[in-house]
Structure 1
Amino acid sequence: MKRILTGDRPTGKMHLGHFVGSLKNRVSLQDEYETFIMVADVQALTDNYNNPEKVRDNVLEVTMDNLAVGLDPKKVTFFIQSQIAEIAELTVLFMNLVTMEKVMRNPTVKTEIAQKFKDGSVPFGFINYPVSQSADILFLRTHLVPAGEDQRPMVELSRDIAEKFNATYKTDVFPLPDLKVGEFGRLVGTDGNAKMSKSLGNTIYLSDTPEEVEKKVMSMYTDPARIKATDPGHVEGNPVFIYLDAFAPNDQRSTINDLQTRYRGGQVGDIEVKKYLAKILNAFLAPIRARRAEYEQNPDLVREILRQGTEKTRREAVETMKLVRKAMKIDYFA
């Protein structure tokens, strides 16, 4: 069976953007692939090194969010990145296979540096994290990475490193991983920003209460040129309608088509459309909230899922490193 590797930085609870970008694919693929979910605490520390409590506190949070959307711990392996020492070893070996210029051309890295390190003082660990992320992907000899479109440069770098390793050492240790992006790729934020992000404060969390969801939806950005309900409105690019397309069940399609027609014709106001969206989102989130509540009441079960998964993953990592050392002629005591 082919393998999936994907994961999340434990810096906060997960939101609708995560669901659209990756979580939905994880759930649908868990029966077809051997699936590993990494809680990427080492990655999180690259820009939270001075706040390790934040990272530690969110390890269970992101695990519960994954479980809540329907990932089955009997089918899916959850593990904590920092507990797999072989990833760090592989990162060091991979650093010889990629140039600094290539890493710095990565658009995701450039964007995050601009957002998070405005004073220009960037930890080297952050600059190096694309190489570390390649090790994250490849140490399990992964075939598929379900992730958001913004992760494409990272997966492409992983492919480049795998290809160069295999060619340099005349081996086939690493398959070339592919990226699988969700149907919508990237969900805009509630403020109309191109990406929903914790750091931008434009999120609807999977764990938000019905009241919190309604409050956020009612304050959503729509069509700035529309002053009153009788003004013709734009549906294309309108976050409210984007969310309806992403989360409304198929049996609501005729209602959405009607709202779109009336919105374009100035026959329905933003408030009515937003109230409908809040209803749709809360219906979508209700079973997720219910599953999450069960895990919140039993945190020891979540820890045990992580412990067992990490032990299993470590065994796989050891096997990969045996193959790597043999290919590189550094298996001195094998």
Structure 2
Amino acid sequence: MSFTRPLRSALFVGAVALVGVGSGSAGAQASLDIDWANIQWPPTISQTLSAVQPTANVYGQVWIDGVTSAPGATSGLIAQVGFGPTGSNPDASWSWAPMSFNTDAGNFDEFVGTMSPTETGTFCYTTRYSGDGGATWFYAVNGPDEANSTCPGPYGVLSVSASADTTAPSTPDGLGGVGSATSGVSLTWNSHPDTDGDLWAFEVLREVVASPGPVVLATIVDPSAVSYTDTTASSGVAYRYQLVAVDTSFNRSAPSSAATVTAVDPTTTSTTSTSTTTEPAVTTTSTTDAATTTEATTTTAGIATPTSTASTVAPILPPTGNSATRVLPAVGVTLAGAALVLVARRRPARF
């Protein structure tokens, strides 16, 4: 019997290689030349939405001819598991999490990891691998159930349902802020009562007063937190901040009353402004001179590891050397035949 190694496709432009099998981007010549990879198990995952409980383990295997057959983890080889909307190709817009080396599986290195979805719905997931520190990625080319109708191809199906807990935390209060020319904007608030005992984090919302539209600036995963420093605030710009409490089931409180703060511009003179509109009053004071910078104070106003257990599933594609014919159980073709598929899949096919 003879074994034909999977073909690979590469275009070389100077010192740059554009790898054509499962690769998501271009970069410098890879330090490790990945030949094949998969999602080993499982084909489907059902998950209840939770901030503290990740999904079941996802296993993936990767093969580098003459490299991964050596005992132990391959130095410089990294792996990730990620998920995204059905009908989309895996790319940087998907949510990715690191995988860790799990075990040697014949000639393969096996990795294991979990996912932590933050919303309900149905998603596709896959694995990817890199031998150059993440400059380029080799995506799985086989999966445990490639004929599934939701995510056909080298993908698994992730179904996320809502938690039975639908009670939102109480709204944070006491939010205030101080602007500094040297450290940005420092926010403080009162300790949250956490009456349900399941408080998980705080989301800091920020918008530019002159251009309304709040966005989540940061998520503070600490239920006991009472402060945050916005080091990205620009001097002289007025910002409006709010705080949202989030519990372990991703229930969110109503936004807190707002704190409007201007990061101090060291070139300005002392100014005081007080809002007298129908909105609740907002007062901001900033004082600076050429030699001394003092802080601006404001009042508040209302505005809208995965476990490492070996996979027990037989490898999907187990090439064991250079002189044996192997059949792809998932698709029923020889490895030589699979090479034509791999060359055609310069990126995972859109489904």
TM-score, normalisation: structure 1: 0.27
TM-score, normalisation: structure 2: 0.26
Higher helix share: 1
**Which protein shows a greater Rg?**
2
Higher strand share: 2
